[in-house]
Amino acid sequence: MADYAAETESLWRSLSSADLEFVAAVDSARLEVERERLHPGSRHLLSTPVYGLKNRFVMWESLVHKMEHGWGPSGYYLIDEYANDLTSRAELGSTIVQAPQGLRARLTDLLSRIDDRFMLGTTDDSGAEFERWGMRRPSSVPSSLWWRCPIQRPWDR
């Protein structure tokens, strides 16, 4: 996935040990949330969170990269995956505000750059595409994200 998330990978390589401590604390808390959703006998099998801070950035940047490149390599993307990515992106915003000031500024800058690219590849449809699929906006996702539909809808292919 690194090819799809070059900006994220670049930022993560430059993080200080103090920055990485914050990331580790966020990821540790997230790991506990994810483990709670598993059967008690399976919880120990999950050693890193699927939705850790870096992973969320990688997922968001990867979505945008795929959008920019015609949804390759498969050319297909499920609307459920897209909705999940929007939910994950919304949660990034609430996590970043907890970061120490210097790290917060760098994460916010990265997120803004990826968001700008996202806006270029989408159009505001007031949520019509999700309505067409019978999907409702989760309360955690702002309508400014939920109402953005890719210009090229890969789930219609």
Q: What is the pLDDT of residues 88-141, one digit of tens each?
A: 999 999 899 999 999 999 999 999 999 999 999 999 999 999 999 999 999 999
pLDDT score for 137: 96
Mean pLDDT value across residues 70-84: 90
The helix/strand count (H/E) of the chain reads as 7, 2
pLDDT score for 109: 98
Cα angle at 109 between 101 and 60, to 5 degrees?
Answer: 115
pLDDT score for 47: 83
- Whether the upstream peptide bond of residue 73 has omega within 30° of 0, thus cis, is yes
Q: Tens digit of pLDDT for each residue in 42-74?
A: 888 888 888 899 999 999 999 999 999 999 878
Q: How far is CA 152 from CA 1, 47, 121, in A?
A: 22, 36, 8
